[in-house]
Chains A and B, each alone.
Chain A
């Protein structure tokens, strides 16, 4: 491999990991909801789109940096998630219907309504938040004068990645160490047993939907400095979250993190070596491959490792 080829490969892997970190955050939100409520939230990407419009609005009106809008958009999405769950999804969950997938269909409807509302309010024009650090980057040669290859690290991508990692760690802490976190995990693992332990599982469902929405909302704020925005962008990210959830093993947060990173790297590789337009195809290939070869998701492989020892 020539040094030019190595350079391309390393640069591709770096972009893939940075993208994967953001994907992981999107996937974790869907996975949490999946674990606790046993439904796939097909409005997930649309919720992210809403958060991005919030960040966009705050930027255009008040010049608020998109990274700071995390503190507004994520809580706003938490509230939106809570309201959706309480007043739309929960009532449907309670109805004994012929179609057990009713709630899933409902989330599709919610997603469509959100996308349409966005078109009404913001038109279907492409939007972005032109921050002044958009093209800022660090270069390897700045740190290592004699470096045989040149690599760059985009400033906004790195910041987005680091914030995504920080949020993921905070979430891990919440789920692992607090009683509310344990109650959420208990509800996901055994609803009736959780009830017997005194867990108000109805409330946990509401909190979880809010939390999942807040996480994808935060991801939206991290995406907008490096991406652009239009009302129909949600569908694509719903699909991404769905692929990650399947890839990771339904309901597993660790699986979602690994799944997000794999998908990010894979998409980055397809974009470099097959062309930009092939990234969605790569996504689809990974999805099918995961369903066929690792039906239990990444987490089932990790677990097999542990038991093998």
Chain B
């Protein structure tokens, strides 16, 4: 479904991604793991068109998207739940959800999708008229995930959804991600929370200093000696 082929990405003159390739097949949960600064967010931003690869290509459902304007990608079926939530703080929960469904069939099915989001996160229903800037961190993350789902994506990308959340909320978010995949949505997840991520991932790629250093099935990567010492602290 998503094919990233040999991309290089730079910020100005500073190259941070080197010849990275990976793929996500339909129905999979694929994890990109790596330390802070490894380049995980940069890769997701490149997939969603906020950054352009200097080299290489990105295909989605067989067609190239690395030259497509960022704002067209949501219509193609890619949702990106960015690092740090990036909600619209001066808008209510409902309005933030609205912004997830501005286009096409998502627009037509807005109220129906909103219901599914509220069923997934019942707390949001109580807060729907509240400004997002005044929500707790966990609630904000729920809105961010919900806003991503509002576009009825075929591929949803999560950038560190568990960052800064209490353990119980981390559990809830991971639970929701497995439910999302059960609904048939393909998931690409970026995390530093390696243990829980590998537990739900079909396959994983390990990123170090902008390069893929290891890839394999989730359990396989979790069993790797290097991963154990460097990321799992075993």
Question: Can you report 30 A-B residue pairs in the complex whose CB atoms are below 8 A from each other?
Answer: A179-B98, A179-B107, A182-B95, A182-B98, A182-B102, A183-B99, A185-B88, A189-B89, A189-B90, A190-B86, A190-B87, A190-B88, A192-B50, A193-B82, A195-B50, A195-B70, A195-B71, A196-B48, A196-B82, A196-B86, A197-B71, A197-B74, A197-B147, A197-B151, A198-B71, A198-B102, A198-B103, A199-B99, A200-B71, A307-B134
A307 CA / B134 CA spacing, docked (Å): 8
Residues of A within 8 Å of B114, CB to CB, are none
Question: Is residue B138 within 8 Å, beta carbon to beta carbon, of the partner chain?
Answer: no
Give Cα distance in the complex from A189 to B88, angstroms: 6
Output the least CB separation between A199 and chain B (Å): 6
- Chain A count of residues within 8 A CB distance of the other chain: 18
- Binary interface encoding of chain A residues 132-174 relative to chain B, with 1 for a CB under 8 A from any of its CBs, else 0: 0000000000000000000000000000000000000000000
For window 193-216 of A, CB contacts with B under 8 Å fall at 193-201
With A185-B91, A199-B71, A307-B134: A192-B98 Cβ-Cβ less than 8 Å: no
Give the number of A-B contacts (CB < 8 Å): 66
User: Is B146 an interface position by the 8 A CB rule?
Assistant: no
Enumerate chain B residues within 8 angstroms of A197, measured Cβ to Cβ.
Answer: 71, 74, 99-100, 102, 147, 151
Chain A residues closer than 8 Å to B73, beta-carbon distance: 198
Bound Cα distance from A182 to B95, whole angstroms = 8
Contact B102 A179 (CB under 8 A): yes
Which one of A183, A186, A199 has the greatest number of beta carbons of chain B within 10 Å? A186
> What residues on A are CB-neighbors of B70 within 8 Å?
195-196
A189 touching B71, Cβ below 8 Å: no
List the B side residues contacting A194 at CB < 8 Å. Answer: 88, 99
Q: In the complex, what residues of B have CB within 8 A of residue A185's CB? A: 88, 90-91
Contact partners of A182 in chain B: CB under 8 A: 91, 95, 98-99, 102
User: B: which residues have CB within 8 A of A?
Assistant: 48-50, 69-75, 79-80, 82, 86-91, 95, 98-100, 102-103, 107, 134, 147, 151
Q: Min CB distance, B72 to chain A, in Å? A: 7
Question: Bound state CA distance, A307 and B130, in angstroms?
Answer: 12
| Cβ of B161 to closest chain A Cβ, rounded Å | 15
Say whether chain A's binding surface is mostly helix, strand, loop, or mixed. Answer: helix
Docked CA distance A180–B82 (Å): 22
**Which of A182, A194, A195 has its CB near the most chain B CB atoms (within 10 A)?**
A195
Partner of A193, one of B72, B88, B95, B134: B88
Q: In the assembled complex, which residues on chain B have CB atoms less than 8 Å from the CB atom of A183?
A: 99, 102
Q: Check A198/B91 contact, CB under 8 A, given A186-B99, A307-B134.
A: no
Most central of A179, A183, A193, A201 by chain B CB within 10 Å: A193
Look across to chain B and name the residue whose beta carbon is closest to the beta carbon of A198.
B74
Q: How far is the CA of A195 from the CA of B100 in the complex (A)?
A: 11
Scoring A182, A189, A197, A200 by chain B CB atoms within 10 A of each residue's CB, the highest score goes to: A197
| A183 CA to B99 CA, complexed, in Å | 7
Complex CA distance for A137 and B105, rounded to whole angstroms: 55
Contact call B151/A186, Cβ cutoff below 8 A: no
The 3 lowest CB-CB distance pairs between A and B, nearest first, are A198-B74, A193-B86, A189-B88
Residues of B within 8 A of A199 (CB): 71, 99, 102
Minimum CB–CB distance for A249 against chain B, Å: 11
Chain B residues within 8 Å of A200, by CB: 69, 71
CA distance A131 to B33 in the complex (A): 72
Indicate whether A196 sits within 8 Å of B50 (C-beta atoms), given known contacts A179-B107, A186-B88, A190-B86: yes
* Chain A residues, Cβ within 8 Å of B86: 190, 192-193, 196
Given contacts A189-B89, A193-B86, 9 further A-B contacts (CB under 8 A): A182-B95, A182-B102, A190-B86, A192-B50, A192-B86, A195-B50, A196-B86, A197-B151, A198-B74
